Chains A and B, each alone.
Chain A
Amino acid sequence: MFDKLAMYFQYPFVRYALIVGALIALCSSLLGVTLVLKRFSFIGDGLAHVAFGAMAVAAVIGLTDDMPFTLAVTIICAALLLGVGRKTKIKGDAAIAMISVGALALGYLLMNIFSTSANLSGDVCSSLFGSTSILTLTRTEVWLCFGLSIAVLAVFVIFYNKIFAITFDEDFARATGIKSDVYNLVIAVTVAVVITLAMNLVGSLLISALVIFPAISAMRVFKSFKSVTICSAILSVSCAILGIIISILWGTPVGSTIVGVDIVVFLAFCGFGLIKKER
């Protein structure tokens, strides 16, 4: 088995997949703790669908490079959901569900009407599940992802205490003079950037799982914000790497395998949390 792994590691695409997988897992798990606690667990899924819809629109308009357009649309939606959400009439989960389903439906509709591709359902499927795209990354994409992860990490460390304050009690934070709108916007932009890029690389199904699972697993066992964040980052990265290795060895789909590993770890942590409580 190790021979087989060593053999695979000689291929650059396998190494790229591992690096990018680990980095995306790291970024999404850091944001995940805040998102889960703010009751925005599904924002990963919602924004990925928005990105999908935006890509469809970009394709229909005939934009050759759809990335800037997609990113802009996703950032606006993220800002609407996270930042301004407080003032709107439709709140939290309903707003996410509405935007997510709406964007997905419209995107698919547009692709269906104006499509030039022969394999439409294949295209749709790969953007939702990521198919094998994580194994077909180019060098540029790996560098892009690397730079982005550093940026997300830096934002997270610099604003860590502020993120904690507005996540725990936004009213108190605002009342004592923290510009929570600004920080909510920072979180929204970071989330949107991570999700848009990650969706191209690993698919929208996986990105949701990466946001949710490590955070809730860590919350079963750990009790301070710092330990939950650190544990969730470590869990996320190790699950991603383990999942990619398993999928390479046994030829299973990458995204689903990583989610599978995440589920097993979550169950283990649930059990551990229960034992800890009883003692």
Chain B
Amino acid sequence: MVGGIRLAQLECRNLCLGYDSKVIVNDLNFSVDAGDYLCIVGENGSGKSTLMRTILGLQSAISGKVIRGDGVLKNDIGYLPQQTVVQRDFPASVGEIVLSGFQGKCGLRPFYKKEEKELAREKLSKMGIAELEKKCYRELSGGQQQRVLLARALCATKKILLLDEPAAGLDPKVTAEMYELINSLNKDDGITIIMITHDISQAMCYASHILHIGKENFFGSKEDYLNSKFGKIFNADEVGKKEEEQKGV
């Protein structure tokens, strides 16, 4: 509580994003409260990942501010990145990877505590992959790998989770399970979710707020979004898709 006004967990003010001096996203304003489920949508190259990297402090904004509030510290943020080439053939056991989620809290302490090892196991069972602890990461299926990385992100945070297209490259069944899992983290554990997604129908299903970035930005609740001009385009698309599906059958 500052001056009687409760600060949002995360707030972006007049944010300008881009590389070098080329501006991609202009004058972005939004805020995220505890327990929100925010989906970031927009076309390829519209700056969704750049925004996420800026929130995480991996790159700096051209102008504007990212403000953390409501007791959220820098190492209170969990992150589920997209997989990199390096990780695909990385010799590491699931246990080692999940534990590395605690690194940010270790400071200069060289080794992990017993409680951290316990917690890591707990997160693994929560993700339903307790039996994989000793397995090699590169031999798991795509869905299992995502669960491992999600468990690692949960070791890093209890408050906010940032996810960059968590369903990329997964088949439809595994994708649905993944979204269910993320939804339960939001609804049951009260973890704030900020997620980049291409799958707008999914976003409509779970999200509480939508951030649309592109030439024009939109931020608001899901209902407002559906009534906005962006939402109307989405509805039209959806109708089109359904017609196609029916033809396909």
List chain A positions with a Cβ less than 8 A from chain B.
37-39, 157-162, 164-165, 168-169, 171-178, 218-219, 222-226, 228
Contact = CB atoms under 8 A, between A and B. Distances in A.
22 contacts: A37-B91, A39-B86, A158-B110, A161-B110, A162-B110, A164-B96, A165-B103, A171-B53, A172-B79, A172-B152, A172-B153, A173-B100, A174-B56, A176-B75, A176-B79, A176-B103, A176-B156, A223-B135, A223-B136, A224-B134, A225-B96, A228-B91
Contacts of A225: 90-93, 96
Nearest to A39: B86
Interface in B76-116: 77-79, 81, 84, 86-87, 90-93, 95-97, 99-101, 103-106, 110-112
Given A169-B84, A176-B156, A226 B96 contact: yes
A171 B112 CA distance: 21
Contacts of A222: 91
B57 A175 contact: yes
A199 B153 CA distance: 42
A177 B74 contact: yes
B21 to A, nearest CB: 15
B112 A223 contact: no
A153 to B, nearest CB: 13
Contacts, number: 97
Contacts of A161: 99-100, 103, 106, 110-112
B104 A173 contact: yes
B136 A224 contact: yes
A186 to B, nearest CB: 12
Contacts of A171: 53, 56, 58, 79, 81
Given A223-B136, A224-B136, A172 B81 contact: yes
Nearest to B157: A176
Given A176-B75, A219-B91, A165 B139 contact: no
A176 B104 CA distance: 5
The list of the 7 closest CB pairs from A to B, nearest first, reads A177-B75, A176-B104, A223-B136, A177-B104, A224-B93, A175-B56, A165-B100
Interface residues of B, number: 40
Nearest to B138: A223
Contact of B77 (A157, A160, A175, A223): A175
Main SS class of interface, A: helix
A177 B78 CA distance: 10
Contacts of B58: 171, 174-175
Contacts of B75: 176-177
B225 to A, nearest CB: 27
A179 to B, nearest CB: 10
Interface in B153-196: 153, 156-157, 162
Contact of B110 (A38, A160, A177): A160
A178 B57 contact: no
A38 B86 contact: yes
Contact of A37 (B90, B100, B106, B153): B90
A161 B135 CA distance: 19
A161 B105 CA distance: 12
A143 B156 CA distance: 43
A175 B162 CA distance: 10
A172 B97 CA distance: 11
B165 to A, nearest CB: 14
Interface in B122-162: 134-136, 138-139, 152-153, 156-157, 162
Interface centre among B100, B138, B162 (most CB of A within 10 A): B100
Interface string B211-231: 000000000000000000000
A249 to B, nearest CB: 35
Contacts of A37: 86, 90-91
Contacts of A218: 91
Nearest to B164: A171
Contacts of A223: 91, 93, 135-136, 138-139
Contacts of B162: 175
Nearest to B110: A158
